[in-house]
Amino acid sequence: METPSGDFQHVPVLVEEILANLPEQPRTLLDCTLGGAGHSSALLHRCPEAQLRGGDRDPVAVDASKQRLEARFPGRTEVRQARFSELPAYLKLWGLRYDFVIADLGMSSEQLQRAERGFSFLLDGPLDMRMDPNSPDLNAAQLLRKVNEHELRRWLREYGEERNATKIARTIIEHRRTNPIRTTAELSDLVASTIPRRFHKPGFHPATLTFQALRIAVNRELEELETLLKILPDFLNPGGRMAIISFHSLEDRPVKKLFREWERPCACPTDLPYCICGKQSIGRAVNRSPIMATEAEVSDNPRSRSAKLRVFELKKSSD
C-alpha cells in the first residue's frame, strides 16, 4: 500500500499541551505512534539537541514519517514499523532510555480517509481495518465470517459500548449465512437498517460504534495498549515523562488506573494497620484531570474534541 509521504493527512492534537509538559531539556524522545510525524516534528523543533526514536504499526505512516523527519531533522531520528507489542525489541536494540515518550492512540485521519483501508462507514471500500494492511492478521471481513454471535455481542458491548449489541450481533450472524459482508457500505447499511429510524441520533451515524468495536477487535487495540503501558516505565529516565493521548474511555480508563497504581506507594487493603506489600511509588501523575483541547482547537480540528492527555513523571533519582 503506497501513499506519497507528502500526501499524508493528519493534524496532530494538543501539540501546545504536549510541549508544555516536556521535562527540562529532554535529550531523548520516543514517539510510539508516529502517524504523519506531527508530534515528532514539533518535539524535535522545540528540542534542538534531542534525538528521536519512533514507531508505528502502519507502514504508510512509517514511510511518511521517515521521509518527513529525515528531510527536516537529518541524522536525529530513527524509525521502525512496530506495533506496541513489538516495540521492546527495538527499544533494546536502540539501547536508550527516554526523557519523553508520547503515544497518541487510535487512528490517523489518513487511515480514516482512505476508502481502501476500510475504516470508514462513510466511504465504501473493502472491510479491512488492519492498521498494518500487510500483516497476516485477519481483516474485519474475515473476522466477521468467523466470529460467533456471543463473541460479536461482547465486542459490540465492550469495545463499542453499543446499546443495541444483541440486535446488531444477531442481524450480522443471520445475514452472513447467505451474504458474507465484504465492504464497509454493506456493514454500515446493515447496521443502520437494524436500528429503527427513531433511535438514530442526529449527527451520529448508527454504525459508528459497530465500526469502533470491530476496529478495536481487529487490531487488538486494548491488549496492545496494556502491553505498551507495562513496558514504558522501564525505558524512561529518572524524571522522564510519558504522555498518553486517548480518544475514548476504553483507552483512557486503563491509563488513568495504571498511573494511579504507579503513583500509590502501597497496595495493601485500606483496613490493614500497616503496609505489608512493600510496594513503592515510581512517580506521579502530573495532572489530576486529563488535559483537553481548547475551544479554539476543537473548532479548527473537531477530532480533538474527544482527546484526553495524561502525563506521568517517573521519580527523579534525588526523590
Return residues touching ligand SAM (CB under 6 A).
10, 12, 33, 35-39, 55-58, 61, 83-84, 104, 106-108, 131, 224
Residue 144 Cα distances to 160, 168, 169, angstroms = 15, 12, 10
Closest distance to ligand SAM from the beta carbon of 226 (Å):
10
Least CB distance to ligand SAM at residue 12 (A) = 3
- DSSP-assigned states of every residue in 282-315: -EEES-SS-B---HHHHHH-GGGGG-EEEEEEEP
Q: Got the DSSP string for 136-165?
A: SS--HHHHHHH--HHHHHHHHHHTT--TTH
Which of 14, 195 has the CB closer to ligand SAM?
A: 14
Residue with cell 506496541: 84
Dihedral (Cα; 108, 109, 111, 112), 10-degree rounding = 130
Measured from the CB atom, is 61 or 168 closer to ligand SAM? 61
Q: How far is the CB of 128 from ligand SAM (least distance, A)?
A: 13
The helix or strand, by DSSP H or E, that contains position 260, with its residue range, turns out to be helix 249-263
Which residue, 86 or 186, has its beta carbon nearer to ligand SAM? Answer: 86
Q: Which residue is nearest to ligand SAM (CB)?
A: 35
Distance separating alpha carbons of residues 10 and 38, to the nearest angstrom: 8
231/266 with CB nearer ligand SAM: 231
33 versus 120: smaller Cβ distance to ligand SAM: 33
CB of 11 to ligand SAM, least distance (A): 8
- Give least dist CB 94 to ligand SAM, A: 16
